Chains A and B, each alone.
Chain A
Amino acid sequence: MTEPLLRVDGLKTHFLTRAGTVKAVDGVDLRLDRGEILGLVGESGSGKSVTGQSILGLVDPPGRVVGGRVLFQGEDLVGAGEKRLRAIRGRRIAMIFQDPMMTLNPVLSIGTQMVEAVRAHEAVSRAEAWERSRRALARVGIASPDERLASYPHQFSGGMRQRVAIAIALLHSPDLIIADEPTTALDVTIQAQILFEVQKLCHETGTALIWVTHDLAVVSALADRVAVMYAGRVVETGTVAEIIGAPRHPYTRGLLESVPSRNRRGVPLRSIPGMTPSVLDLPEGCAFRPRCDRPTAACTTMPELAGERDDRAWRCWNPVAAEVRGDAA
């Protein structure tokens, strides 16, 4: 097996708060090949954003990566110094955030924010950086880029701002883009447009993508592979067809059954009973136990992430039978 672009091994990021240690990410394993699109799925609070930020060392105190490795082309980013990380951020690994209203600095023009992003990694003139920014804006479908570069964020709609953020992420043709729910705050038609464009751009440039979302429908349309997170851990991973067609973890199955589907019309939607546990006091053993419909005595100890292959695995003592579901994507 060739060395993957990114391999995350047992990543742990904890927040040392007054109320106690919040184990937001507590042993996450991921792998991603060049040009591959990975959907990172899970309920709110499952640790998706913290995982994404930990990869680039962007977690603010009181949060800290306390264990594990982030191997990017074989180099461990967890031990890397701030200077080395800075050289990677934006150039090799770029990031797009959830709320486009908050990710651009309100008092700096779009041009300033793009030009500085170019010049952070390449010693080019302002004019050259401006020209590069113009082209990047045109590429994400923004008309009259010169005028747009002179504008300020408040003059843009949410969808336009997210396009700008995507244009910034694409500036240096990175190897990997981590997109943290970039379309959640937008309305549905814009969501679809942006989804389509990002997918197209990544295919064109061979950029790998981690697309964080809580929406399985989005993932099935976009991703090659999926990792499902629950309470700070990956509980199941596989190709889109495997996850959608034959989920093995009860939580994944629950997620799928709560997504409306054409082929199951008439069957009532199910929701997973109970609530996301507080990461401050997780049950012993499998974190999903209180909400699971098939727990056994074994479930009081933590199951390993294991399965058929390295990239087809689940974290459950009593996995769901591998029947092929009727509504496979």
Chain B
Amino acid sequence: MLVFILRRLAQSAVVVVAMSVLVFAGIFAIGNPIDVLISPEADEFERAAAIARLGLDKPMHEQFLRFVDSALGGDLGTSFVHGVPALGLVLQRFPATLELALCAMLVAVALGIPLGLWAGLKPDSLAGRVIMTGSILGFSLPTFWVGMMLIMAFAVTLGWLPAGGRGETASLFGVQWSFLTADGLAHLILPAVNLALFKLSLVIRLARAGTREVALQDYVKFARAKGLAPARIVGVHILKNIMIPVVTVLGLELGSVIAFSVVTESVFAWPGMGKLLIDSILQLDRPVVIAYLLVTVLLFVVINLIVDLVYSLLDPRIRLGGGRA
């Protein structure tokens, strides 16, 4: 297990290095980095000073080392609009997005797996068909439209839930979280459901397909022949096997949930990274856009690493290296 973790850590490090080379190439080597890094309002004198300060007259490899050095030090430039370090700005918004994305995932898993199991165990029943039809809708309806419908129904017409914002927050580990207060939780429900919808459909389909396949396996019949209760067969023998593909896909999708949250955050005025990105693009705040990209890359790498570890916990064939005694 330790060897496995070390090997995956090494692989992740390689990916991060490769990505930083790409980002470097994107910002510094292609096009004019001055345009990206210095406010368009800067005058001639400021430009010359900046070129010297950034070392743009130095050879390429030296520039790269400088970039790595400042990036490692957390310096990705200063926001034109807010006048504070771009990275800090992105990171400050990160908890709100993370909270929203994790809640959406939770909704997708907590609803999707039981529904998918049911549809897989009883594919011809009425409930099974309704679930599958619902999942097709979840796939095909556009997120922003569903988001607005949710606001119309639950915030405007029924008035049960707030239409936007994070609501009251409470502090944990020095970070503000909405889910810790009743008001914050009420604000979280609609955007989380909205963001979850697509993944929920995905989980239902994965769980259903997995269940239909696994239920026919000899080992399920053998479990029945042992006299096990249906709850144990479904809840352990089948569930553990379908969790492998579900966890893999969901883990990989967590990155895309964070990316997709751009739409939901805009619809629900949720002050996360996605909303910051849209605002920054509109205001041509380039350092913030770059910081967002870099943080997202790192996030993807870390998520993939965690997925692999969880996956190996679920599947002994991977954890133990597939060898035979």
Q: Which of B216, B222, B227, B229 contacts A103 (CB 8 A)?
A: B222
B229 touches A86 (CB 8 A): yes
Asked if B46 lies at the interface with its beta carbon under 8 angstroms from chain A, I say no
B241 touches A120 (CB 8 A): no
Segment among A90-98, A130-138, A266-274, A308-316 that sits at the interface with chain B = A90-98
Beta-carbon nearest neighbor of A93 in chain B = B225
Asked if A109 lies at the interface with its beta carbon under 8 angstroms from chain B, I say yes
Asked if B240 lies at the interface with its beta carbon under 8 angstroms from chain A, I say yes
A154 touches B224 (CB 8 A): no
Asked if A87 lies at the interface with its beta carbon under 8 angstroms from chain B, I say yes
Interface size class of B (residues with CB under 8 A): 20 to 34
**What 1/0 mask marks residues of chain B from 288 to 325 whose CB sits below 8 Å from any chain A CB?**
00000000000000000000000000111100101111
B91 / chain A contacts, CB cutoff of 8 Å: none
A108 / chain B contacts, CB cutoff of 8 Å: 236-237, 240
Asked if A117 lies at the interface with its beta carbon under 8 angstroms from chain B, I say yes
- State the CA gap A104–B315 with chains docked (Å): 14
Q: Which of A53, A102, A121 contacts B227 (CB 8 A)?
A: A121
B218 / chain A contacts, CB cutoff of 8 Å: 97, 99, 102-103
- State the CA gap A105–B241 with chains docked (Å): 9
A168 / chain B contacts, CB cutoff of 8 Å: 226
Asked if A157 lies at the interface with its beta carbon under 8 angstroms from chain B, I say yes
Beta-carbon nearest neighbor of B317 in chain A = A154
B317 touches A95 (CB 8 A): no
Beta-carbon nearest neighbor of A104 in chain B = B219
Q: Which of A89, A104, A105, A109 contacts B224 (CB 8 A)?
A: A89
A121 / chain B contacts, CB cutoff of 8 Å: 227
Asked if A116 lies at the interface with its beta carbon under 8 angstroms from chain B, I say yes
A165 / chain B contacts, CB cutoff of 8 Å: 222
Asked if A260 lies at the interface with its beta carbon under 8 angstroms from chain B, I say no
Which of B232, B236, B244 has the most A CB atoms < 10 Å from its CB? Answer: B236
- State the CA gap A108–B236 with chains docked (Å): 9
- Give the shortest distance, in Å, between B232 (CB) and chain A (any CB): 7
A116 / chain B contacts, CB cutoff of 8 Å: 226, 228, 232, 236
The residues in B between 206 and 265 inclusive whose CB is less than 8 angstroms from any CB of A are 216-219, 221-229, 232, 236-237, 240-241, 244
A107 touches B225 (CB 8 A): no
Asked if A65 lies at the interface with its beta carbon under 8 angstroms from chain B, I say no
Asked if A155 lies at the interface with its beta carbon under 8 angstroms from chain B, I say yes
- State the CA gap A58–B237 with chains docked (Å): 17
A94 / chain B contacts, CB cutoff of 8 Å: 225-226
A58 / chain B contacts, CB cutoff of 8 Å: 221, 224-225
- State the CA gap A109–B324 with chains docked (Å): 14
Beta-carbon nearest neighbor of A112 in chain B = B236
Asked if A320 lies at the interface with its beta carbon under 8 angstroms from chain B, I say no
B227 touches A152 (CB 8 A): no
Binding site for A on B (CB under 8 A): 216-219, 221-229, 232, 236-237, 240-241, 244, 314-317, 320, 322-325
Can you name 21 A-B residue pairings with CB atoms under 8 Å?
A87-B227, A88-B227, A89-B226, A97-B222, A99-B218, A102-B217, A104-B219, A105-B223, A105-B237, A106-B241, A107-B244, A108-B236, A116-B232, A116-B236, A120-B226, A120-B228, A120-B232, A121-B227, A151-B325, A154-B322, A156-B324
